[in-house]
Amino acid sequence: MSISNELVNQYPWLPSLRKFYKDTRELSYSEFISEIFSNTNNVQIAKRVLKIFEAAFNNLEEIPDKKNDNLNVHVYLLLKIMLYALNNKIITNRIANLYSKSSYNDMEHENSISNIYDICMDLGLKINSYDPPEPYGLKIVKDHREKLETNFSIHYIDYLSLASNLRDEYRKLTNNPLIDGYVFIQNKTLIRLIQEYVRNKLLIEETEDKASLKAFMKNVSQIQGFKDLYDNIKTLWENRKEEFDFTFKLDIKNKEEMLLSYPPCVIEILKKAEEGQNLVHHERLFIVWFLLALEYPVENVVNIFSTLPDFDKDKTTYQVEYAKRKNYTPYQCLTLKSLGLCMADKYKEEGELCREGYGSKDPVERKKIKHPLFYVQLKQYRSEREKEYKRNLAKRELEDSKKPNE
Ligand code: SF4
């Protein structure tokens, strides 16, 4: 099957890129970079790449003035090389999230289903398309009945491999109609799965091989255009990076103390969000309910989600406000354990209280932590007691120092 050049220009992460840009494939990284920066459009390409970084650092949900012309392929490849050069997990996640979201928006606005079908075929997915859409079920919510229909069904093996990172309940195979080995899914869900594929294409692991990276940088830094672009991105990042630390985003009084009081299950979710990793449904619910229970402002809770691949500010604000009105209680430890979200064993220091319990020196007598909010209370109580002990000790030492020598 052959797909159009225009489609590859618009979606340069498609496997057919190899076919259309065979010559590019044979170039080494530095040869490719040299070629880009000796190209008459090099300023345009560099500007577009810089714009993507700016948009990601500014938490935008779309790439401004994005054009889907033939320069798009160079932009995509240079973007990937730049991520390797920067070697920073947080930046990589942010770019991967923004870029994949932008591809999602483009696919969502495709006028015909044939382009989506071609994309799926190019990705090697076993897919059926229906025009007009095929009815496959009925959704009943209270008195409302909605006929479900779709243009696509996908082979369950492909469905499972695409959805493997998205552990949300509604994406489980058992929650989707399966007929003759094909899963019937809404067009939007299919596109969301492809978005995840795109995100993974950009998720270059941080390299441990610092020597190779150094040699690479030494080599490509001689190409002035690349060096300027790299330096610009670095400066942008240096100016903004503190804002991406969740300790700043939460912006609360005594934030350091508060962070010391978080249980491992909470730290893990905040770290994942900080790095722009996807959060599953239960992680999202738990962190919202937990932070609201500690009286975090809605805006700060919403901010935590701003790094996620599917962030939508209005929708998230509505959901967090709704949760605040409902005053939900965060999951208890037993529930978190059954959901695989207890991280007591992963965090050596913070998990000690969870693993060993409290209340007695005798391990048999010790009680187990049953709720993450209790963990916070206990940590704060202990910290207050320690402070008071230190205050009293200092007072006694002062009094002793004033006593005449015997
Ligand atoms: S024991 Fe409870 S508070 Fe501690 S990490 Fe597990 S779920 Fe969280």
Pocket lining: 376 vs ligand 1, CB cutoff 6 Å: no
CB atoms within 10 A of CB 175: 9
Pocket lining: 12 vs ligand 1, CB cutoff 6 Å: no
Pocket lining: 264 vs ligand 1, CB cutoff 6 Å: yes
18-42 mean pLDDT: 82
Q: 194-213 as b/e, with b when 16 or more CB fall inside 10 Å?
A: bbbbbbebbbbeeeeeeeeb
Confidence at residue 252, expressed as pLDDT on a 0 to 100 scale: 45
Predicted model pTM: 0.71
Q: Which of 27-31, 52-56, 249-253 has the lowest mean pLDDT?
A: 249-253
Close Cβ partners of 4 (under 8 Å, ≥ 6 residues apart): 118
Instruction: Output 88 or 141, whichever has higher pLDDT.
Output: 88
Residue 72 pLDDT exceeds 80: yes
Residue 256 pLDDT exceeds 70: no
Pocket lining: 276 vs ligand 1, CB cutoff 6 Å: no
The answer to whether 290 and 330 have CB atoms below 8 angstroms apart is yes
Q: pLDDT tens, 348-383?
A: 988 999 999 998 888 888 999 999 999 998 988 888
Distance in angstroms (rounded) separating the CA atoms of residues 100 and 198? 5
Confidence at residue 389, expressed as pLDDT on a 0 to 100 scale: 85
Report helix, strand or coil for 314: helix
Residue 246 pLDDT exceeds 50: no
Strands 127-141 and 144-155: antiparallel
Confidence at residue 147, expressed as pLDDT on a 0 to 100 scale: 85
Nearest CA to ligand 1 atom 3: 372
Ligand 1 centroid from CA 321, angstroms: 26
Q: pLDDT tens, 175-189?
A: 678 888 999 988 888
Pocket test for ligand 1, best of 369, 376, 378 (most atoms within 8 A of CB): 369
Confidence at residue 168, expressed as pLDDT on a 0 to 100 scale: 56
239-252 mean pLDDT: 56
Beta bridge partners of 144: 141
The answer to whether 326 and 320 have CB atoms below 8 angstroms apart is no
Ligand 1 centroid from CA 14, angstroms: 42
Nearest CA to ligand 1 atom 1: 354
From the CA of 331, give the closest atom in ligand 1: 7
Instruction: Output 27 or 347, whichever has higher pLDDT.
Output: 347
φ, ψ for residue 361 (rounded to 5)?
A: -75, -25
Distance in angstroms (rounded) separating the CA atoms of residues 14 and 18? 9
Pocket lining: 343 vs ligand 1, CB cutoff 6 Å: yes
End-to-end CA distance of the chain: 99
The answer to whether 80 and 17 have CB atoms below 8 angstroms apart is no
Report helix, strand or coil for 352: helix
The answer to whether 202 and 83 have CB atoms below 8 angstroms apart is yes
Nearest CA to ligand 1 atom 6: 342
Confidence at residue 245, expressed as pLDDT on a 0 to 100 scale: 53
> Minimal CA–CA distance to 195: which of 81, 106, 279?
106
**What's the token pair of residue 48?**
């577009």
219-238 mean pLDDT: 93
Ligand 1 centroid from CA 270, angstroms: 14
Q: pLDDT tens, 80-127?
A: 999 999 998 889 988 998 999 999 999 999 988 999 999 999 999 999
Confidence at residue 173, expressed as pLDDT on a 0 to 100 scale: 58
Confidence at residue 373, expressed as pLDDT on a 0 to 100 scale: 93
Instruction: Output 171 or 319, whichever has higher pLDDT.
Output: 319
Close Cβ partners of 345 (under 8 Å, ≥ 6 residues apart): 351, 355
From the CA of 341, give the closest atom in ligand 1: 7
